[in-house]
Amino acid sequence: MRRAFYIGRFQPYHNGHHAVLTEIAKAADEIVIGVGSAQLSHELQNPFTAGERVLMITRSLRGLGVPVYVIPIEDLRRNSLWAAHVRSMTPPFQIVHSANPLVTRLFAEAGMAVHSDAMYERDRHSGTEIRRRMLEGEAWEPLVPTPVVEVLNEIDGVGRLRQIARSD
Amino acid sequence: MRRAFYIGRFQPYHNGHHAVLTEIAKAADEIVIGVGSAQLSHELQNPFTAGERVLMITRSLRGLGVPVYVIPIEDLRRNSLWAAHVRSMTPPFQIVHSANPLVTRLFAEAGMAVHSDAMYERDRHSGTEIRRRMLEGEAWEPLVPTPVVEVLNEIDGVGRLRQIARSD
Amino acid sequence: MRRAFYIGRFQPYHNGHHAVLTEIAKAADEIVIGVGSAQLSHELQNPFTAGERVLMITRSLRGLGVPVYVIPIEDLRRNSLWAAHVRSMTPPFQIVHSANPLVTRLFAEAGMAVHSDAMYERDRHSGTEIRRRMLEGEAWEPLVPTPVVEVLNEIDGVGRLRQIARSD
Amino acid sequence: MRRAFYIGRFQPYHNGHHAVLTEIAKAADEIVIGVGSAQLSHELQNPFTAGERVLMITRSLRGLGVPVYVIPIEDLRRNSLWAAHVRSMTPPFQIVHSANPLVTRLFAEAGMAVHSDAMYERDRHSGTEIRRRMLEGEAWEPLVPTPVVEVLNEIDGVGRLRQIARSD
Amino acid sequence: MRRAFYIGRFQPYHNGHHAVLTEIAKAADEIVIGVGSAQLSHELQNPFTAGERVLMITRSLRGLGVPVYVIPIEDLRRNSLWAAHVRSMTPPFQIVHSANPLVTRLFAEAGMAVHSDAMYERDRHSGTEIRRRMLEGEAWEPLVPTPVVEVLNEIDGVGRLRQIARSD
Amino acid sequence: MRRAFYIGRFQPYHNGHHAVLTEIAKAADEIVIGVGSAQLSHELQNPFTAGERVLMITRSLRGLGVPVYVIPIEDLRRNSLWAAHVRSMTPPFQIVHSANPLVTRLFAEAGMAVHSDAMYERDRHSGTEIRRRMLEGEAWEPLVPTPVVEVLNEIDGVGRLRQIARSD
């Protein structure tokens, strides 16, 4: 049994995440997905709740072929404890896949195997771009899997983001 | 889509939980399972981590026939906010199944539909009995699904409980 | 301007509290009332929310003759900081009235004047007795001011307490 | 009984807040005022303690004609729980008055009635301007009710703000 | 450089702790001492502040012959993270000395070397006995090093404990 | 016994801190050093753990001539309680040495004697400059005591900072 770990904030889940997970699935028996900053929502950078993000991810990965565990991870704001915190909330995993230098460092200092591939960079920046398009009324739907569009429509995700944006 | 919610501490997951979930699965399209007191572990009443409990539950429910979401829920120690906290961490659900009077009350005050059946009482007391048997070297395996035995063996669950018990 | 401070959990506000505050009012220009353990509710020992308790107290003191400030105080679980915490949440006061030895000690170590009179003992034990009577269907109404009966009826206070009691 | 809710940080309480509350008082039997970010003080954006703010507000509203409840509300940093948190700390209210889009959204998602009037915009920006004037030695007193000037003089509010400003 | 770790609550520091540390000092170049439950004080089981305990320990160990680091450790109430938490607050150490089964288990699961000797049992029970003697006016001084008596006299430690005891 | 208090974040400990402490040592019997923001590490502004900072400070001060207590202080994010928090974690001290206006204000409001000398300004800015040099490969070693270089080499401090810097 080879279980891989991958983490993001998924605000929202998008094609970049999906490409990375499809790649990870080729070499893993099961995948554990951490939904970071789980306690945050209704913010410009973090509009969606952990539960909404769990739904987006699970529905998008229905056809992945390997079992996934989608686990909300609340922030501790203590980097030294973060790797232990993640491991306490998740089924045991043997390898971490990440292009994020802080994630990579924290798991490596905790003695975990880390696989860091430039390909994983694809999960960066798209979230910011998608939220910008939502705010400015541009087409964001092409950047996410279809089930994410469905979930966001059900919860009025774009409406929430636009209303919050008027707070600043 | 009719999604049902069920919560427990699952220290460990046992046949009583399994019977209740099998019953709930008959009337639900999907089930959301909250793993309560997720931040606790390595205690006499709470020996196993949230991640270990997620693994026990998921493996035991492989043949259930309806999709399940297994979500760790950390304690807030603020009962007034608890229903909102659960809902923020989980995909939207329409009905709560519980025989626990506090759970029932908190969701009802939050305006949720609650189904409370005496049959759900089967989830009570077994956890305490299983931990007692583990400590005293009696047969606890008949009280849990087979995958739970496997997980507990892998993580040396009984050894951990016995070592912790010597602390008091 | 001589402002006095008095604190309790007020689960619920009762005649003992009322007698003490009536006495304090004779020598103070204004009274600051701290509603302790504000974050707790829906527990056997703490059934009512801070807001419900604020309402009971304010309505009962309408005819007191001196202005009152009724302020929820959340627990910090750090006794060394508690006096500073209370003072940060309340208008400045010059004297603390309490028969509680811990309250007395913490304010005295923080350099505050404390007035400790056996008469204040009247605020003890009644809360426990009132909750016991509510649970067992005995007459609790004579032990509280009339406005407290009204508030508890409006919020189904006795029903909540009885439902919670079935959890253990 | 029609109770209205209004929230701000009140750093400090000023004429904009006062105009809004005077307007709200025309249609409400009682007003509940939340003092937000109650745990913050001694910061450039948040110089005054919750207790000091309670005092400014209460004194300024002496002549309002309807009873007010002034309640410190500590931050939770979890937007999904914020409406439930506010309601647990306050007497029950039926309507929220706010021009703040986030406040409006959070209460609406929690099923509360919200009244959002452009007139309420008057509570914005003045706090920043007042603190700027205090720092630069300009006349800030015309922007706040007279009792606020008194409170700030008593607690050396301007001195505190200026000293803190030298920290950055 | 061989650095050893030892942890206790030290309420108060007593001859049992002192005997254990004297023994550890024989085989270590430096000793790191964790002062557990650092945030607690003014309680029957935890009467003294972390700072007071740091003072008792440091003064008592003046003649030990090896350098000591005395570090307050606040509780996290998350056993899975506790070993990482301790390590983040302390200089790196290579071995843990403890007879406490939970401490032993948590460090072992975190991959640390642990030395568990029956001799270390001497640190158990004395704290409870000393606090009982303080409350009942019996001779507690023979159970602690002389510098602890001095510190407790300076801070009115016995007076504090007795006053707190009247709270229950 | 005259005990002095001094606090910093010490990211890392440098010659400016060392000059200030050497000066303070001339007039004090003992020095209590608070290591602020103790819970932070692995951040651009806060790369080193509290334990690593304790080690840098203690080793650098070996020849100071007066005993020092080096105490990690976790952030509370509640300025009103901060002075009480510091005092609960440290042995009693009689005077605070600081050029930081916020530190000065908070201790003064808590009734402590504060000594604020322009000389203490030497502890400002160097930390930022040292971290900048580490990132850009310039010589930072001349700005810190030799034992700090040793500690940072042992823990791969520069490597950690550079890796983290790639996260943004």
Three-state SS letters, chain A: CCEEEEEECCCCCCHHHHHHHHHHHCCCCEEEEEECCCCCCCCCCCCCCHHHHHHHHHHHCCCCCCCEEEEECCCCCCHHHHHHHHHHHCCCCCEEECCCHHHHHHHHHCCCEEECCHHHHHHCCHHHHHHHHHHHCCCCHHHCCHHHHHHHHHCCHHHHHHHHHCCC
**Coil/strand/helix, residue F30:** strand
Of chain E, the percentage scoring pLDDT greater than 70 comes to: 96
pLDDT range class, residue C117, cuts 50, 70, 90: confident
Size of interface A-D (CB pairs under 8 A): 28
- CB contact set of A5 (below 8 Å; sequence gap of 6+): A31, A32, A33, A34, A86, A90, A93, A95, A96, A97
Looking at chain B, which residue has its C-alpha nearest residue A87?
A: B51
Contact residues, chain C, for E39 at CB < 8 Å: 77-78
Looking at chain E, which residue has its C-alpha nearest residue C109?
A: E160
Q: Do chains B and C touch (3 or more CB pairs under 8 A)?
A: yes
**Coil/strand/helix, residue E29:** coil
Distance of residue D14 Cα from the nearest chain C Cα, in angstroms: 18
CB F111 within 8 A of CB F89: no
What per-residue string of b and e applies to E105-127 under the rule 16 or more CB within 10 Å gives b?
bbbebbebebebeeebebbeebb
pLDDT on residue D118: 73
- pLDDT for residue D168 is more than 60: no
Structure confidence by residue, pLDDT tens digits, F95-115: 999 989 999 999 999 999 999
Which strands, in side-by-side order, build the sheet including A113-115? A68-72, A30-35, A3-8, A95-97, A113-115
CA–CA distance, A79 with F161 (Å, rounded to integer): 13
pLDDT range class, residue D1, cuts 50, 70, 90: confident
Distance of residue C89 Cα from the nearest chain F Cα, in angstroms: 9
pLDDT on residue E1: 85
Q: What average pLDDT does the structure give for chain B?
A: 94
Mean pLDDT of A155-168: 90
CB C32 within 8 A of CB C5: yes
**Coil/strand/helix, residue B35:** strand
**Coil/strand/helix, residue B82:** helix
Partnered with residue A95 across adjacent β-strands are: A4, A113
Q: How far is CA D117 from the centre of its chain?
A: 17
- Sign, CA torsion D23/D24/D26/D27: positive
Q: How far is CA A1 from the centre of its chain?
A: 23
- pLDDT for residue C109 is more than 70: yes
Structure confidence by residue, pLDDT tens digits, A74-119: 999 999 999 999 999 999 999 999 989 999 999 999 999 999 877 7
Structure confidence by residue, pLDDT tens digits, D48-90: 999 999 999 999 999 999 999 999 999 999 999 999 999 999 9
pLDDT on residue E167: 67
Q: Please give the single-letter amino acid code of residue C118.
A: A
Phi, psi (degrees; rounded to nearest 5) at F125? 75, -30
Q: Indicate yes or no: CB of B49 within 8 angstroms of CB of E77.
A: no
pLDDT on residue E168: 52
* Nearest neighbour of A54 by CB, restricted to B38, B41, B71: B71
CA–CA distance, D83 with E108 (Å, rounded to integer): 43
> How many residues does the structure list for chain E?
168
> How many residues does the structure list for chain F?
168
pLDDT on residue B168: 52
Mean pLDDT of E30-45: 98
pLDDT range class, residue E134, cuts 50, 70, 90: very high
Residue keyed to tokens 């505190």: D160
pLDDT range class, residue F118, cuts 50, 70, 90: confident
CB B13 within 8 A of CB B57: yes
Size of interface B-E (CB pairs under 8 A): 28
pLDDT on residue C107: 97
CA–CA distance, F155 with F150 (Å, rounded to integer): 9
- pLDDT for residue B158 is more than 90: yes
| 3-state SS record for F3-28 | EEEEEECCCCCCHHHHHHHHHHHCCC
- In 3D space, the residue among C148, C163, C154 whose CA is nearest the CA of residue C12 turns out to be C148
Q: Please give the single-letter amino acid code of residue D27.
A: A
pLDDT range class, residue D119, cuts 50, 70, 90: confident
CA–CA distance, C119 with C138 (Å, rounded to integer): 27
Structure confidence by residue, pLDDT tens digits, E85-96: 999 999 999 999
More confident position, B135 or F167: B135
| Interface test with chain B among D76, D78, D81, by most B beta carbons within 10 Å | D81
Q: What is the dihedral of CA F77, F83, F86, F87, to 10 degrees?
A: -150
pLDDT on residue C119: 73
- pLDDT for residue F168 is more than 60: no
Structure confidence by residue, pLDDT tens digits, B63-107: 999 999 999 999 999 999 999 999 999 999 999 999 899 999 999
Q: Indicate yes or no: CB of F54 within 8 angstroms of CB of E87.
A: no
CA–CA distance, C146 with C158 (Å, rounded to integer): 15
- pLDDT for residue C114 is more than 60: yes
State the Rg of chain B over Cα.
16
Q: Indicate yes or no: CB of A69 within 8 angstroms of CB of B58.
A: yes
Distance of residue B62 Cα from the nearest chain C Cα, in angstroms: 31
CA–CA distance, F62 with A137 (Å, rounded to integer): 63
Looking at chain E, which residue has its C-alpha nearest residue B43?
A: E79
pLDDT on residue A28: 97
Contact residues, chain B, for E105 at CB < 8 Å: 42, 160, 163-164
Q: Provide the terminal-to-terminal Cα distance of chain A, rounded to the nearest Å.
A: 49
Q: What average pLDDT does the structure give for chain E?
A: 94
Q: Indicate yes or no: CB of A102 within 8 angstroms of CB of F42.
A: yes
Structure confidence by residue, pLDDT tens digits, F4-52: 999 999 999 999 999 999 999 999 999 999 999 999 999 999 999 999 9
CA–CA distance, A52 with D108 (Å, rounded to integer): 18
CA–CA distance, D29 with C66 (Å, rounded to integer): 21
- pLDDT for residue F122 is more than 90: no
Query: pTM for the full model?
Result: 0.96
CA–CA distance, B130 with B14 (Å, rounded to integer): 9
Complex confidence, ipTM: 0.95
Q: Please give the single-letter amino acid code of residue D7.
A: I
CA–CA distance, C157 with C138 (Å, rounded to integer): 15
| Interface test with chain A among F49, F167, F168, by most A beta carbons within 10 Å | F167
- Give CB contacts under 8 A, 24+ apart, made by C112-115: C112/C83
Contact residues, chain E, for F87 at CB < 8 Å: 51
**Coil/strand/helix, residue E1:** coil
Q: Count CB-CB contacts under 10 A for residue E73.
A: 22
CA–CA distance, B82 with B50 (Å, rounded to integer): 18
Q: Indicate yes or no: CB of C78 within 8 angstroms of CB of E167.
A: no
pLDDT on residue C118: 74
Residue keyed to tokens 């910008």: A132
* Nearest neighbour of D79 by CB, restricted to A43, A163, A166: A43
- What's the topology of domain E3-165? Rossmann fold (3.40.50)
pLDDT on residue B57: 98
pLDDT on residue A168: 53
Q: Indicate yes or no: CB of B163 within 8 angstroms of CB of E105.
A: yes
Mean pLDDT of E4-31: 96
pLDDT on residue D108: 96
pLDDT range class, residue F119, cuts 50, 70, 90: confident
- pLDDT for residue B120 is more than 80: no
Q: What average pLDDT does the structure give for chain C?
A: 94
Of chain E, the percentage scoring pLDDT greater than 90 comes to: 90
Mean pLDDT of C107-131: 86
Looking at chain C, which residue has its C-alpha nearest residue E38?
A: C78
pLDDT on residue E161: 98
The structure tokens listed for F4 are 């002095």
Q: Please give the single-letter amino acid code of residue B35.
A: V
pLDDT on residue C99: 86
CA–CA distance, E7 with E96 (Å, rounded to integer): 9
CA–CA distance, F72 with F47 (Å, rounded to integer): 15
pLDDT on residue D15: 95
**Range of lowest pLDDT (C122-136, D126-140, E2-16):** C122-136
CA angle A110, A116, A120 (to 5 degrees): 130
Mean pLDDT of C81-94: 98
Structure confidence by residue, pLDDT tens digits, A124-153: 778 999 999 999 999 999 999 999 999 999
Looking at chain E, which residue has its C-alpha nearest residue A90?
A: E80
Structure confidence by residue, pLDDT tens digits, E112-131: 999 987 777 766 778 999 99
Distance of residue C23 Cα from the nearest chain F Cα, in angstroms: 31
pLDDT on residue C168: 52
Q: Phi/psi class of residue A113: alpha, beta or left (left: φ > 0; alpha: ψ in -120 to 50)? A: beta
Burial status of residue D168 (CB atoms within 10 A of its CB: 0-12, 13-18, 19 or more): exposed
The structure tokens listed for B153 are 């063996």
pLDDT on residue C103: 96
